[in-house]
Amino acid sequence: MTRQVPIGVLISGSGTNLQAIIDAIDAQVLDARIEVVVSNKADAQGLARAKKHRLCTEVVDPKGFPSREAYDQAVVEILQRRGVELVVLAGFMRLLSPVFVKSYSNRIMNIHPALLPAFPGLRVQKKALEHGVRFSGCTVHFVNDECDEGPIIIQAVVPVFANDNETSLTARILQQEHRIYPRAIQLYAEGRLHVVGRQVLIDHLTTDESQVLIQPPL
C-alpha cells in the first residue's frame, strides 16, 4: 500500500467534496489522512461532516485579520503545525495570496465546476448554460497565483441538455466532482504527478481513443 499522504481540506460550504474524500479514504481507494479541516465560515455545513468523522477542525474567521496575507499566513501555520503535505481546496471561497501559494508550491489542489480554461470564476454553471455549450464538466488543477489558472490534473465531461437549468447542471457536474477529486489526490499519493511548466505529466497512463463524446448524439 502507498503511504498515507497527510492532507488539509479547506471548505466554506456544504462540503460534499470533503465527504467524497472521507468516503474514498474509508473505502481504501485513497491513501490519504485528513489532518485538519479548515473553514473560513463557522456555520459551514462541511464542519458537521468533519466532526461526525472525528476529524480535527479549525474555523479561521477573516474578520480577525488585517490583510489577506495575514489571514493566509495563519492558515498556513495551522496546516504546517498539523504536518499537512497537500492542501485540498474543496469549495473554499477565497482567493489565495502568493504567501499561501509559495508555502505550498504545486501542493495545493482546487476543484472547479467547469472545463477550464473555459468559464473561470463564479456561477460558472449558469455561464456555461448561457453560452449554449453542449458539454461542461469539472476540473481538478494545481493552484498558482492566478484564479482557476493552474496546471490541470484531471477533468470530467458531462452533457448539457436543452431543458437544463443551473440546479440540474450543477448536480450533474457535482456527481463527477466526487469521482475525480479523490482520484486526483490518489494520483498525487502514488507520486505520479509531475508539473512541467503548464502541464501535469502523469506516470503510467493508459489511453483510450474511443472516449469521444458527441452532443447531440449522431
Q: Coil, strand or helix: which one is 186?
A: helix
Q: Does 16 bind ligand GRF (CB under 6 A)?
A: yes
The three cell numbers of residue 6 are 497527510
Q: Rounded distance, CA 104 to CA 93, Å?
A: 18
Give the residue, chosen from 58, 85, 164, 177, that forms a contact with ligand GRF under the rule CB under 6 A.
177
CB neighbour list of residue 69: distance below 8 Å, 6 or more residues apart: 97, 99
Stretch binding ligand GRF (CB under 6 A), from 68-76, 105-113, 149-157, 196-204: 105-113
Supply the minimum distance, in Å, between the C-beta of residue 18 and ligand GRF: 6
Hey, which residues does 109 pair with through a beta bridge? 88, 142
Q: Which of 8, 9, 15, 144 binds ligand GRF (CB under 6 A)?
A: 15
Stretch of residues binding ligand GRF (CB under 6 A), selected from 10-18, 69-77, 152-160, 183-191:
10-18
Among residues 112, 131, 141, 194, the one annotated as catalytic is 112
Tell me the three cell numbers of residue 46.
Answer: 462541511
Return the residues of window 108-167 that contact ligand GRF according to CB under 6 A. Answer: 111-113
Q: Which residue number is nearest to ligand GRF in terms of Cβ?
A: 91
Query: What whole-number distance in Å separates Cα of residue 9 and Cα of residue 18?
Result: 7
User: Is residue 90 near ligand GRF by the rule CB under 6 A?
Assistant: yes
178 catalytic per annotation = no
**Shortest Å, Cβ 51 to ligand GRF:** 15
DSSP string spanning 142-154?
Answer: E--SSTT-SPEEE
Tell me how far apart the terminal alpha carbons of the chain are, to the nearest angstrom.
44
Bridge partners, residue 152, by sequence:
141
Residue ranges that bind ligand GRF, judged by CB under 6 A:
11, 13-17, 46, 90-91, 111-113, 174, 177
Which sequence positions are flagged as catalytic?
112
